[in-house]
Structure 1
Amino acid sequence: MTPVFSHGDLRLYLLKLLDEQPRHGYDLIHALTDRTGGTYTPSAGTIYPRLAKLEEEGLVTKSVDGRKTIYAITDAGRAEVAGRADEFDGIEAGLADSVRLIADEVRGSVREAMKSLRADLAAAAHDERRAAPADTSRADDPRVRAREQLQRADAAIGAFRAQVRTDLRSHVARGGRLEASLVDELSRALDEAARAVTRALRG
């Protein structure tokens, strides 16, 4: 996956976000997610060590508000942001390029996954056509065949849904990113699949 920030840029970007207003750690994560269009969601293990380092350097302070730890920029932090203001245009441009590359990679991955799914479905349909029915009397009844195929369709849809849910939940539980562009692409692919089924039924 294409890296979003070059070395040292994330540190400076965190200072810039804190220069806008005090924030807690997860607010910083959400801000980064929003500003990258959902293509980059850093883990807590990425953000908090950097905040701790900024605190050691005297560039930020932290205070506890209930169950939240709020980070605020210091005068020294503001001085660094002001002194490196000319770097932010380059960081923003690099960030935009990285986001575009990541989005392209995600779309390519989804397209490949959908191609594989369509190939699997075509192979299953081919195998079904080749299989001889065990009970010819039942096979001659269109209503029986329809019910059998409906059960197969229900099972396939259920298995697909369970697998995707498991993969997504496991990925997020491990601290992985779940980009909005991936979910959008998945939704579009599912809509396309649903329309294809509708057309096939009407045809």
Structure 2
Amino acid sequence: MTPPVFAHGSLRLYLLALLEERPRHGYELIQALSERFGGTYSPSAGTIYPRLAKLEEEGLVTKTSDGRKSIYEITDAGRAELDARRHELDDIENDVTDSVRRLAQDVRQNVDDAMRSLRAELASAAREAKRSATSVRSETINLHADSNRAVHEADVVLNEFRQQLRTELRRQASRGRVAPATVDLLRARLAEVRAEVLGTFAER
């Protein structure tokens, strides 16, 4: 659990010190505190306004309206209390410096944790991508191997067809039975088969 930024009663005195510099409305006080802490701490309105109301009730600050905003200004009584406790401001400033250092360290730790988590996620994603790529390469290699086997088998089929048909044509030619129409039929059927085979490539 992160310790409180201001010790008990310190924020009240710090608000008086800010108002001593110049009158401010509530949002300007929140902004000034955020700037003092380098953006590592920004008090909520629920933290600031109740304390301002208490200071006003004690007569240490006054509140005037400026349109929709309320401007807070330190009173003589507020300056008197601030002067009486001026020595405490140095301790408060030191506490603020320590708090800023602590908050900055927490921010760095959170950033470091987030970066480690991000690196782990990126490494996991890289491993998954590598496994997927390996799987795709394996599938591609298998497809190429299947295609090469199919081409080899097609060569065997074509050679068997050519050899068997040539043998039969020569046998029938020796009997005078091979007419020009046979060649036309062969040419037409082979063209049909060729078109069908090429059609299977387009489907893949």
TM-score tier by shorter-chain length is 0.5 to 0.7
Contact 1:2 1:102 in 2 (8 A): no
SS at match of 2:43: coil
Aligned residue pairs total: 139
Q: Which residue of 1 aligns with 2:6?
A: 5
SS at match of 2:34: helix
SS at match of 2:83: helix
The Cα offsets for residues 104-153 of structure 1, whole Å up to 9 and x where unpaired, read as 1110110011000110110111012112239739xx9xxxxxxxxxxxxx
5+ residue gaps, structure 1, are 141-203
Q: Which residue of 2 aligns with 1:65?
A: 66
Q: Which residue of 1 aligns with 2:109?
A: 108
Q: Which residue of 1 aligns with 2:124?
A: 123
Q: Which residue of 1 aligns with 2:45?
A: 44
Rounded Cα–Cα distance in structure 2 between residues aligned with 1:3 and 1:136: 62
SS at match of 2:73: strand
Contact 1:2 1:101 in 2 (8 A): no
Rounded Cα–Cα distance in structure 2 between residues aligned with 1:111 and 1:3: 23
Specify the code of the residue in structure 2 equivalent to 1:133: V
Rounded Cα–Cα distance in structure 2 between residues aligned with 1:59 and 1:115: 50
SS at match of 1:15: helix
Rounded Cα–Cα distance in structure 2 between residues aligned with 1:130 and 1:20: 64
SS at match of 1:40: coil
Q: Which residue of 1 aligns with 2:136?
A: 133
SS at match of 1:86: helix
Query: What is the CA RMSD across the aligned residues, in angstroms?
Result: 2.0
Shift of 1:31: 0.7
Q: TM-score, normalised by structure 1?
A: 0.64
Q: Higher helix share goes to which structure?
A: 2
Rounded Cα–Cα distance in structure 2 between residues aligned with 1:129 and 1:36: 46
5+ residue gaps, structure 2, are 145-204
Q: How do 1:51-200 residues align onto structure 2 when only pairs under 5 Å count?
A: 51-131=52-132, 132-133=135-136, 136=140
The Cα offsets for residues 168-198 of structure 1, whole Å up to 9 and x where unpaired, read as xxxxxxxxxxxxxxxxxxxxxxxxxxxxxxx
Shift of 1:97: 0.8
Rounded Cα–Cα distance in structure 2 between residues aligned with 1:36 and 1:113: 23
Rounded Cα–Cα distance in structure 2 between residues aligned with 1:39 and 1:123: 32
Specify the code of the residue in structure 2 equivalent to 1:24: H
**Worse overlay, 125-134 or 12-21:** 125-134
Rounded Cα–Cα distance in structure 1 between residues aligned with 2:31 and 2:75: 22
1:14 and 2:18 correspond: no
Rounded Cα–Cα distance in structure 2 between residues aligned with 1:59 and 1:71: 10
